[in-house]
Every structure is written in structure tokens, then in C-alpha cells.
A and B are shown apart, each in its own frame.
Chain A
Amino acid sequence: MMNPTAEKACPWDPTAADREHLLAELRQCLPADSVLGDPEALAPYECDGLSVYRRLPLAVVLPETVAQVQTIMRLCARFKVPVVARGAGTGLSGGALPLADGVLLSLAKFTRILELNPLERWARVEPGVRNIVISETAAEYGLYYAPDPSSQIACTIGGNVAENSGGVHCLKYGLTVHNILALGIITAEGEYITIGGLAPHSPGYDLLALFTGSEGMLGVIVDVTVKLLPIPEYAQVLLAGFPSLGAAGNAVGRIIAKGIIPAGLEMMDQAATRAAEDFVHAGYPMDAAAILLCELDGVEAEVRAQADSVRGILESCGADHLQTAVDESERMRLWAGRKAAFPAVGRISPDYYCMDGTIPRRHLAEVLERISQLSEEYGLPVVNVFHAGDGNLHPLILFDANREGELTQAEALGGQILEVCVEMGGTITGEHGVGIEKLNQMCVQFPEAELCQFHAVKKAFDADGLLNPGKAVPTLHRCAEFGAMHVHRGKLPFPELERF
């Protein structure tokens, strides 16, 4: 278990008596079963989906009402105790990692759909509602909520907003930021504010955009109004196998240049394809250097016409395997391989570490070449799964955490991959967030002045630095240290030491 060093970002440095005092105060204003303080009860909250980082918080609180959240925030503001908000804990960047002296605020009990308006096509829901439940509930009206992160059966809408989650359909239907209308927020001082609204052009600044993807640094989300879209009538998926990654990448650009925006456009390299095929037998060509899955949706005649054009493009780009799902069950099978890609990789390696860089798509072949060189340099295999339509790469680094130093090496390799993404004009995170994981790479992506501006923005919402401190935006001090360490590129001094 790694025990990451926290960046001391707030003045609260409690004695044992202070800790008891805080717990007593929390218990006084919340129902007994809503405050957890015993190590055993705290354990399930020690990490999120990035489980290499674990830490027990001082307390976990599980409020049931907005008023209770306000009470908690006021209390924490008075004690100057840091607060980490948590949804389902499926995040992949350690954004919900607790602070040892902090309160972990779980929104798991906020699971109600408050209102659904089929005519105006929106739903107002509590933050702990699972992503897929919104679509399931809206289905009877022919509507759904578009963003579909791969964790959609488990992840909650509050966390989706905090991370600006994407999914396989975001090229056509957008990210979370494009699909929400309003938020109810509890500020660091415990005030309730509404941002956005059902009417367009909310007065003032576009705080809805600022809050989306802000990783719990600016406020606690207590309700979310999402847009609902009509369910497409018909969808078809095409599978193509290519003799090279470059040819597959080229096909992606050509489809889009033709004026077609597929509902989903996914690429997998040979290693990922083989792992997925072995696992779910989706019918993928095992000898292809890369496969593309292209989903088209709309009315049937439109989809059929577009599928004809896409087939033509795939052929002219050198696809040597081409398959169109003839029915819904074949379509589901072709997707099953892609959707099971991560667990499939889990079967071929004791551990894997998932990266999340985005690049301008035209640099794909070069970036993959660089990744393959780095992979050799570090002696760790890398498998690539790629949201090809929007340039979002998920290289999976294979390692064995039981072998000494391999996790550190995997993290160092991952960091270098992200730096290649920045160098190519891309970004270190497309949809997983910075959390605690990519703080060092933030120093690579952003110069000092930008980081200072980020800190100033946070301060405008959270003057005392109590909301999820130490995440998402690194301190300048940390970047200075990382810069000094960074000179050695991959060969860190003291490789035996743990680095975070």
C-alpha cells in the first residue's frame, strides 16, 4: 500500500483531541449511522478506482439531505478541516483519495431522480444517481442521457460532472459539459447556489462550464439537471481490420473529412485486439495490426447510406477485413470486445496502469511509435485502446506490482507517455482527470503563470483551501521539485524511492 505524501495545503493540523472533538460535533448534527470514524468502517473509502493510492480519512460522513451537507460544510469551515467529496469512487486518477486529517463526504445516499420533464427533455437528479439509471428511467419517453463512460453502470452523475466524463459516444454527442443544464452546489462556506438553469443564457459568468471537470475543488455538487436526447432509431456497427496502425488512423481522418460524424469510432492495436478476442470471442481478426469499430446511428435509411460510404473509405484505406453487423446481436458482440478490453488486458497481466492522454489525431502513428520505443526502454509492454474519433488514447501499461520497483517504473513510463502527448500538442488527460495521479505532468503541460491563475480561481471559491486540497493543480513548489528531478528523463535519481 502506498501512502502518498500530501501537499500541506491548509492549516488544520489536529491533535488527537481535535479529532475527537470534530467527530463529536459531526455526530451531534448528523444521524448516528451517517458518521463513520472507526478504521474498519473507514476502510472501504480508502481509495477510488486508482487503488495504488490508499489512505484512511479522519471521518466519513454520509449525509442524506442537502441541509446536512450544508451543516457539514459549515462545521468543516469553522474547524478549517479539508473535505473530499466522493461519488461511487470509480474515478481513475485518485481524485477521491481521502486526506488523513480530512473528512470524506460521500454522496452515496443521494440517489433520487427528483423530476423528469419529457416535453422539455431534462431530468433533475441527485448526485448519487448512477449514470445508467438516468437513461433507464428516461427510456419510457424515448429519451436517454448521452455521455456513457465505461463505468456507467456504477459511476454516479455527481462524479461525472466533477470529472467532465466522456465515453465512446462523445465525438457526436459531447462530453458531460455539453449535456448538463444546471447544478445545485454547496460552497466551501456551506451556502447553496444554483448555476445554469432551464432557460438559456444564465446571467453572469458561465460557471457551469467552470464547475464541470473541476474535480471537487470549487464546491460540492448536490443536484444536477441533465439534458435528455431522443434515442436514435437505428444503429449499425462496422468492424475493419488493418495491416498497420497508420492505415487505421488514416481511415479515421478520411471518414470525418467526408462529413460523417460516427456515433462511436474506436481503435485497438493488435495486443488489445487479441486480448479482447481471447476473452469474449467477438470475432475480431487476430492477425490485424489494428482494428476499427465504427458505429453509425440515426434513421435507418441514413445509417445505411452512411455505412456504404464508410465501407468505401475503409476499403480504400487498405482494410483487409471488413464486416458489418447484420443484426443487433452481432452489433452487441462486436462492441462486447471493445467494452471488455480493459478486463481482457487484466487477464494477460497481473496489473495494468491505464493512461488517458489526448492528441491531435494526425500525430497518432508517431505517438504510437514513441510509446512503443518507451515501452522497450522500460521493459514494460503497452497495449493501446483508443477513442480514435476524438484523439483520446488509453495506453495500458502492463506490470506486476509484486515485482519490486515495477509499479514505480510503470508510473514513470506513464508520465513519459503523457509528456509525449503534450509535446504533440495534446493533453495529459482527456477524461479521467488529474486527481493526485497527474500532478507532475500538469507541471509539464502548464507554465507557472497558468498554474497561478488556476490557484487564483480556486481561491475565489475556496479561500481557505478546504475543498479537495492537493489535487488537480500542483503547487509551484512541487513543479520546481519535479523540474529538478525531471532533467534525468526516465532515469530518476534514487529509483528505489517511491515517487508520487
Chain B
Amino acid sequence: MSNRDALSSLQAQVCKAFETQSPLAIVGSDSKSFLGTADEGTPLSTAGHRGVVSYEPEELVLTARAGTPLDELEALLTEKRQMLAFEPPRFAPGATLGGTIACGLSGPRAPYCGTARDFVLGTRILNGRGEYLRFGGEVMKNVAGYDISRLMTGACGTLGILLEISLKVLPMPERELTLVRDASASDAIELMNRWAGLPIALSATCHTDERLYLRLSGPEAAVGEASKRIGGDSMVEGENNFWLKLREHTLEFFNRPESLWRISLPSATPPLALTGAWLTEWGGAQRWLLSDEDGAHISEIVAKAGGHALSFRAGSKAPEASDPPPLSSPMLSIHRRLKQAFDPAGILNPGRLLLGS
């Protein structure tokens, strides 16, 4: 583990890019470059800006530089029996905190505990003028100024370069138990939703290949009580690995040649009529579709059901062209003006989050 403060060098690079109006492509460990469109611009690496700045287990707050690998953070948290409750996926070794927050991706626990943005308390960033700015802080409740830190989450670096992030962390549950049962997709969706309405210690749900998996987390007594009420076989062998593999997309399901789509839906939406292999998680709200169907067709069917589809990984056939986000015209102009407010020269990750002009 090494700590390094690369602020001055990063700031100098951004200031120069602002003056010369030359685009920058922000890179952490490059673990998620498959997402979205290709980078344009000179690479700007945040990997050298790394290390934990502070960790106060009694306050449930951790602050680290953007280039810190998630594995290092989790090792530190594990020592105190705490965790990043949104279970961020890595997708490749070396994934950094900055990339994780910039992409805003969360794992199986998210619908029950919160997504990445729910845990962000504060950030230090460089905006597109190279100004070093601090928003939020290291306290749970803070309503001074606009919530810029959460706005940065999932903005893919287009509004600022994340330098330091403060996160709320949570205690690890005393006990975890996975239950499995046979279920059709529509029964599974119904059950996931009904269970989420009961005061039980639910922490993850997944349906794939006619099997429904359900994770309970919490104090021993709460997990025991919930498993009694819900029933099903408890899964002992490789229990943790199942959720880890789901998070990392290394379950057998993901090992196919078709394009992978992330389908977001209101959680109780019945199974959609789209050809392909499905895996449903997040209580029904996040579904993965492996399919060679036409992208426009997929988007249309999903939109009709009140959701949206994202081409997550291109399959072995033709890669999907990424479309601009489907935003209404007033929303699109707000997005453009917001981008302009942080990055007037348009130099930060111009290839990401296509807003047009």
C-alpha cells in the first residue's frame, strides 16, 4: 500500500488542457473502459493519486484518494468488520475508488442498502477549469450548498475529476445466509417484491435459470427469523461466491457470446417479451439480458414498460453504437448547461455521456 498525493501534477495538466482546449480522457485503472463510448483525448491518470486519507470506524466514515484500489479499501474495512455496503463491482483487478464512483455502479446489496451515490458524503474535485473544489464533507447530515458530490456519482468524469471521496461505511452483518428455491421468472419477480415489503433482513435477490436465490443479512436472530418465514433450501457450498460472481459478472450465465444489456425497470414489471437469456436481480428492478436482438427494438420494448436499456458489453457480433441518453428536450438543455457550468471548454471526457451540442 502506498500513499501519494498527485494533486499538483493533476491540476497542472487540467489547467493546461483548459488553456489549450484539449480534451482529456480520465483513467483510473481502466477496469471499466468497455462501458459506453470510446475515450477521446489525452489520457489523464488518477491512479497515482492514492491512499486512505482518514478512516474513523466509530463515525462510519472513510476518506480516500481516487486512485486507491477498492481491494485495499475493503481490506482495511474488513479489519474493523465494516464494508462498502453498495458492493461495488470491479470488473477487472485494480479497480479504483474514483472509477467506481464516477461510473456509479453498485452490486447486489444496493436495492436493500443503497446505491453508490447514497454512500457518498463528500468529494474533492478538479473542475474543467482546473479549480480544486471541495463539496460535502465527512459527516452524515450536511445540507450546506448543493449536493455536488452525489451529482458527481455516475457522471463518468464529465463534470469533474474526482480526487478524494468520503464515504459512509456500514458494519458487516453478523450473519449471512442464502436460500434457494425453484421458481419461474414471473413467480420470482412477484416473490422478490412481496418479500421486500416484509420487515425481514433481505440483502440480495437473484433469479436465473429457473432458480431464485435470496440472501439474508443481519444479526443472527434476524436472519434466523427471516429464513423461517421465507423457507427454501439454504445454500452452503460457495454461498458467498455466488453473490461475488454475480457482482463481477463471472457467473456461468454471463459466459455467452451475445451482447449484454442492462435493463432497468419498475421492480414488479412482468418478464418482457425479448428473446435471449435473462438474469433478474435487485428485487426485479435490474435485469441482465444476453441477446442478439436489435438494440433499437430492445430499447423500445423496455421503454414501453417504463424502463431503460443500456448496452453494457458488446457481444461477439457487431458492437452496438451507443446512443445519447434518452432525455426530453428541456432535460437535454439542462444537462448541457450543467456540463458547461463545470467544464466550459468541454475537455473532460468529451466522448462519454453524449449530450450533443
- Do B58 and A210 have beta carbons less than 8 Å apart? no
B264 within 8 Å of A (CB atoms)? yes
Contacts of B266 in A (CB 8 A): 120, 198-199
A264 → B minimal CB distance (Å): 14
Give the nearest-CB partner of A209 in chain B: B150
- Do B143 and A433 have beta carbons less than 8 Å apart? yes
Contacts of B196 in A (CB 8 A): 121, 230
A453 and B342 in contact, given A201-B308, A201-B310, A230-B199 (Cβ under 8 angstroms): yes
- Complex alpha-carbon distance, A361 and B265, angstroms: 39
B86-107 toward A: CB 8 Å interface, digit per residue (1/0)? 0000000000000000001000
Give the nearest-CB partner of A301 in chain B: B221
Give the nearest-CB partner of B226 in chain A: A299
Residue among A141, A206, A212 facing the most chain B CB atoms (10 A cut-off): A206
A200 and B144 in contact, given A427-B137, A450-B133, A450-B135 (Cβ under 8 angstroms): no
Give the nearest-CB partner of A253 in chain B: B58
A213 and B59 in contact, given A119-B197, A200-B285, A299-B225 (Cβ under 8 angstroms): no
A249 → B minimal CB distance (Å): 10
Give the nearest-CB partner of A231 in chain B: B199
B333 → A minimal CB distance (Å): 9
A12 within 8 Å of B (CB atoms)? no
The residue that B159 contacts in the complex, of A174, A205, A362, A433, with Cβ under 8 A, is A205
A480 within 8 Å of B (CB atoms)? no
Give the nearest-CB partner of B324 in chain A: A203
B145 within 8 Å of A (CB atoms)? yes
A2 → B minimal CB distance (Å): 23
A267 → B minimal CB distance (Å): 15
- Complex alpha-carbon distance, A375 and B310, angstroms: 57
- Complex alpha-carbon distance, A232 and B335, angstroms: 39
B134 within 8 Å of A (CB atoms)? yes
A299 and B57 in contact, given A200-B264, A203-B326, A430-B141 (Cβ under 8 angstroms): no
- Complex alpha-carbon distance, A450 and B117, angstroms: 20
A473 within 8 Å of B (CB atoms)? yes
- Complex alpha-carbon distance, A214 and B148, angstroms: 11
The residue that B199 contacts in the complex, of A193, A232, A473, with Cβ under 8 A, is A232
- Do A450 and B134 have beta carbons less than 8 Å apart? yes
A142 and B197 in contact, given A199-B265, A456-B342, A460-B340 (Cβ under 8 angstroms): yes
Contacts of A233 in B (CB 8 A): 199
B22 within 8 Å of A (CB atoms)? no
Among A77-85, A334-342, A386-394, the one that faces the other chain is A386-394
Contacts of B342 in A (CB 8 A): 453, 456
Give the nearest-CB partner of A459 in chain B: B341
Question: Chain A, interface size: which category?
Answer: 35 or more
- Do B155 and A206 have beta carbons less than 8 Å apart? yes
- Do A457 and B341 have beta carbons less than 8 Å apart? yes
- Complex alpha-carbon distance, A453 and B266, angstroms: 35
A187 within 8 Å of B (CB atoms)? yes
A254 within 8 Å of B (CB atoms)? yes
- Do B117 and A206 have beta carbons less than 8 Å apart? yes
The residue that A200 contacts in the complex, of B115, B139, B153, B341, with Cβ under 8 A, is B115
B81 within 8 Å of A (CB atoms)? yes
Contacts of A260 in B (CB 8 A): 171
A119 and B225 in contact, given A298-B199, A360-B56 (Cβ under 8 angstroms): no
- Do A187 and B330 have beta carbons less than 8 Å apart? yes
- Do A230 and B198 have beta carbons less than 8 Å apart? yes
The residue that A302 contacts in the complex, of B111, B219, B285, with Cβ under 8 A, is B219
- Do B174 and A259 have beta carbons less than 8 Å apart? yes
B282 within 8 Å of A (CB atoms)? yes
- Do A429 and B144 have beta carbons less than 8 Å apart? yes
- Do B59 and A360 have beta carbons less than 8 Å apart? yes
B4 within 8 Å of A (CB atoms)? no
Interface residues of B in 116-144 (CB under 8 A from A): 117-118, 127, 131-135, 137-144
A461 within 8 Å of B (CB atoms)? yes
B337 within 8 Å of A (CB atoms)? yes
- Do B197 and A259 have beta carbons less than 8 Å apart? no
The residue that A390 contacts in the complex, of B139, B154, B171, with Cβ under 8 A, is B139
Question: Chain B, interface size: which category?
Answer: 35 or more
- Do A430 and B199 have beta carbons less than 8 Å apart? no
A123 → B minimal CB distance (Å): 13
Contacts of A164 in B (CB 8 A): 143, 147
B345 within 8 Å of A (CB atoms)? no
Interface residues of A in 159-215 (CB under 8 A from B): 163-164, 166, 170-171, 174-175, 177-178, 187, 189, 191, 193-195, 197-207, 209-210, 212-214
Contacts of A433 in B (CB 8 A): 143
Contacts of B308 in A (CB 8 A): 199, 201-203
- Complex alpha-carbon distance, A359 and B171, angstroms: 21
A229 → B minimal CB distance (Å): 8
Contacts of A210 in B (CB 8 A): 146-148, 150-151
- Complex alpha-carbon distance, A117 and B266, angstroms: 11
- Complex alpha-carbon distance, A305 and B147, angstroms: 38
- Do B143 and A163 have beta carbons less than 8 Å apart? yes
Give the nearest-CB partner of B190 in chain A: A119
B193 within 8 Å of A (CB atoms)? yes
The residue that A305 contacts in the complex, of B221, B268, B282, with Cβ under 8 A, is B221
Give the nearest-CB partner of A434 in chain B: B144
A213 and B143 in contact, given A143-B197, A298-B219, A459-B341 (Cβ under 8 angstroms): yes
A245-271 toward B: CB 8 Å interface, digit per residue (1/0)? 000000001101111110000000000
The residue that B221 contacts in the complex, of A141, A302, A453, with Cβ under 8 A, is A302
- Do B143 and A430 have beta carbons less than 8 Å apart? yes
A442 within 8 Å of B (CB atoms)? yes
- Do B60 and A256 have beta carbons less than 8 Å apart? yes
Contacts of B153 in A (CB 8 A): 206, 209
B170 within 8 Å of A (CB atoms)? yes
A442 and B145 in contact, given A203-B325, A210-B151, A230-B197 (Cβ under 8 angstroms): yes
Interface residues of A in 300-356 (CB under 8 A from B): 301-302, 304-306
- Do A201 and B262 have beta carbons less than 8 Å apart? yes
B331 within 8 Å of A (CB atoms)? yes
- Do B146 and A199 have beta carbons less than 8 Å apart? no
- Do B222 and A298 have beta carbons less than 8 Å apart? yes
A275-300 toward B: CB 8 Å interface, digit per residue (1/0)? 00000000000000000000000110
- Complex alpha-carbon distance, A119 and B193, angstroms: 6
Interface residues of B in 206-229 (CB under 8 A from A): 218-222, 224-226
List 19 interface pairs A-B (beta carbons < 8 Å), by A numbering: A117-B268, A120-B266, A193-B328, A200-B110, A203-B327, A205-B151, A206-B155, A213-B147, A230-B196, A232-B199, A259-B172, A302-B225, A305-B220, A360-B61, A360-B139, A392-B141, A430-B142, A472-B145, A473-B146
Given contact pairs A202-B308, A445-B144, enumerate 13 new A-B contacts (beta carbons under 8 Å): A119-B190, A119-B197, A200-B111, A204-B335, A207-B334, A231-B199, A298-B201, A299-B199, A305-B220, A390-B141, A429-B142, A446-B145, A453-B127
Q: Report which B residues bind A (CB closer than 8 A).
A: 56-61, 80-81, 104, 110-111, 114-115, 117-118, 127, 131-135, 137-148, 150-151, 153-155, 159, 170-172, 174, 190, 193-194, 196-201, 218-222, 224-226, 262, 264-268, 282, 285-286, 306-308, 310, 325-328, 330-331, 334-335, 337-338, 340-342, 353
